[in-house]
Structure 1
Amino acid sequence: MSDFLTVTFPISGVTTSVFVPPLTAFAVSFFASMGGLSGAFLLLPFQMSVLGYTSPSVSGTNQLFNIVAIPSGVWRYARERRMVWPLTAAVVIGTLPGVVIGAWLRLEYLPDPKTFKLFAGLVLLFVGSRLLADFRRRKQAAPTAGAVEFAVADSSFSLQRAEFSFAGRQHSFSVPKIFLLCLLVGIIGGIYGIGGGAIIAPFMITFFQLPVHAVAGAALMGTFITSAAGVLVYQLLARFYPGVSVAPDWQLGLLFGIGGFCGMYLGARCQKYMPAKLIKLLLAAAVLLTACGYLAA
C-alpha cells in the first residue's frame, strides 16, 4: 500500500488507507438506513476492533459521522413523504437530554473499553432479540412501492396521542410513552455514541408496532439532531478531562461521514422496494452479530 494513501489520524492514532473509512461507511449505511439506522452502531465495533480506536473519543467521532452522513437520507425520506413529523418531534425532544446525560456517564463510569463493550453488547443483544422475535411473530403483508398510498398522510398530534396513515393503514402511538422511552434510549445512545435515534427505531418497530418503512426517516432525523448535541458535549467535556482522549477525531469522522452520506441516500432511495420483513431480518442479524462480538471480546 502506497504511503501516499496511508494516513495516521492525530487524535485517534489510527493508521489506515484513506479509502477504508468511506468505503466501510458506505456499505454499512446503505443497508442500515433502510431500517432508520445510520450505521454508527456497526461502525463503532469496526473502529474499536479493526482500527484499534478504543479511547472515549470514539463515541464523539461516531456521532460526527452521523452529522455528515444523515442529511442525505432524511432529505430523501422527506421528499418521498415518508417522514412522520410528530414522531420525529417526540424522538428529538426525548433523546436530546438523554444524550447529554449519556455522554457524561460514558466518561465518568465507562472509560474502560472492556466495561464499555460489555454494556454495549448487552444493550444490542436485547434489541436484536426483540427484533428477531418480532420478525418470527408477525406475518402481515408488507407494502410495496406500487401501493396506492406509500406515503405518510393525515398526521395528527396532541400531548397524549399521535396518529398517521401509511400505505392505506392507520397507526397511532402514545406520546408520553414514546417520550419516556426516547429519554432512556437517549442516555444509552449518548453512552454508545450513536445519538439515540438509532436504537429507538427497533423499539418503535417492536414495542409500538409502527411500520418500518415509515419510522426510518423519523429515527434518522432524531439521530442527526442528538448527534450534533453529542459532538458538542464531547468537545466541551474534553476541557474537564485532561490527559484523556475525549474530543472527536474530526478528520476520521469526516471521512466516515462522506461514505455514509452516499450510502444513506441510496439506501433511503431503495428502501421502498425492500419488504419490511427482510429489513427487520437484516437489522436483527446485524445487531445480534455485533452484540455477540462485544460479549465475546
Structure 2
Amino acid sequence: MYFDVAGVEVSPWLPPLVGFAISLFTSMGGVSGAFLLLPFQVSVLGFTSPAVSATNQVFNVVATPSGIYRYLREGRMVWPLAWVIVAGTLPGVALGALLRIALLPGARDFKLFVAAVLLYIGLQLGRDILSRGRRSEGPPQNATVVPARIPSRIAYRYGGELFTANRWGVFALALIVGVIGGAYGIGGGAIIAPFLVSLFALPVHTVAGAALLGTLVTSVAGVAFYHFIAPVFPDMAVAPDWGLGLLFGLGGAAGMYSGARLQRYVPARTLKLLLVVCLVGPAVGYVYEFFVGK
C-alpha cells in the first residue's frame, strides 16, 4: 500500500502490528508510544518531512482513548494532575510545531533533536532507578486514587500513601515538555510521565492515566494545527498522512488498552527499565548517524 504524503510503500498489516507492539508496554508508563513510533517512521520507513510529526499525533488521537478508558475504569485517574498537564502543554504544542517547521525541517538535524530528547528522558529515568535502589515500589494491585486537599498543591493518596506536587512546578514542566512534544510530534503529554516520576517522585502507576489524557488533548490540537497551517508551506509536506496514522493508531489502541490493564501487575522498576532501554537505543543510533554520517 502506497501512502502519498509519507511517500512510502508499506504492507497494510505492518503499521497496526508496530503500533500494538510499541503501545503494549509504553502505555504502562503513561507514554503513548509515539516517541518510539517516530524513530520507526524516520529510520525504517524513510518518512522524514515535517508531516511525520503530524502523522505521529494522529496515532495518539486514535490510540490513547482506549488506555485512558482503562485507567478511568480502574480508578487510577488523577484529575487535578491531568488538568494541569493539559493547561501547560496545550500552548507549548503550537510553539513546538512552529519550531519543527521553521528550524528543524531537515532529516539530519531533526534526528539529532530527537536523540537529545530521548537521551535526556532516559538519563532521568536511569538516575531515578539507581537512586531508589532495589527496594520494593508500588502499592497493592487493587489500590485506587483518593483525592486529598492541600492548598496550591496537587495531592492524592494511593495505596495508603500521600503524594503531592507543586501545581506551578508541574505547569512549568508541562509547558516546556509541550514545546518539545509539539516539535517531536508526540503530543504535549506523551513524554511528561518520566519527568513526573523522576522530578516530582510521583508513582508511575498513578501518572499514566493523566499523562495519556494530556497526550490526547494536545495531540488533537497538534493535528489541527499542522493540518491548517499546511497551505502556508505549499512546497513542504506538513499535513498528516491520515491513512498511515490511522493504521498505526488502530494497533496502538489495542496495545494501550492491553497495557493499561496489565500495568498494575508490573513492578514500577521494571516499567522504568524497559522505558530506559527503548529511549537510549534509538538515541545512540541517531547521535552516531549525525556525527559519523551516512
TM-score for both structures, normalised by structure 2: 0.96
Q: Does the C-alpha gap of structure 1 residues 217 and 13 become closer, same or farther in structure 2, counting only changes over 3 Å? A: same
The residue type paired with residue 136 of structure 2 is A
- Alignment check: 8 A CA contact 2:139 2:158 kept: no
Could you tell me whether the CA contact under 8 Å between 1:64 and 1:257 is conserved in 2? yes
Query: Deviation per CA, 1:65-118, whole angstroms, max 9, x where unpaired?
Result: 000000000000011011110000010000000000000110000001111111
Alignment of 1:1-297 (within 5 A): 7-139=1-133, 140-143=135-138, 145-146=140-141, 150-156=143-149, 158=151, 160-297=152-289
Cα RMSD, aligned residues only: 1.1
| AA partner of residue 119 (structure 1) | F
Give runs of ≥4 in structure 1 deviating > 3 Å: 144-147, 155-158
Which residue identity lines up with residue 162 of structure 1 in the other structure? I
Amino acid corresponding to residue 154 of structure 1 in structure 2: P
Of the structure 1 ranges 113-122 and 206-215, higher mean CA displacement relative to structure 2 is found in 113-122
Q: Render the CA deviation track for 1:2-25: whole Å, top value 9, x for unaligned.
A: xxxxx0011111101000000000
Identical counterparts, % of pairs: 53
d(CA) in 1 for partners of 2:149 and 2:180?
A: 29
Q: 2:154 and 2:25 mapped to 1: Cα distance?
A: 29
CA distance in 2, matches of 1:81, 1:50: 38
* TM-score normalised according to structure 1 size: 0.95
SS class of match (1:17): coil
**CA gap 1:14/1:131 in 2 versus in 1, 3 angstroms:** same
Aligned residue pairs total 288
Moved more, 206-215 or 120-129: 120-129
Q: Give, in angstroms, the shift of residue 144 of structure 1.
A: 5.2
Gaps of 5+ in 2: 290-294
CA distance in 2, matches of 1:145, 1:244: 51
Question: Deviation digits for residues 167-192 of structure 1, max 9, x if unmatched?
Answer: 11100000001001100010000000
Structure 1 residue identity aligned to 2:266 = M
CA distance in 1, matches of 2:205, 2:127: 19
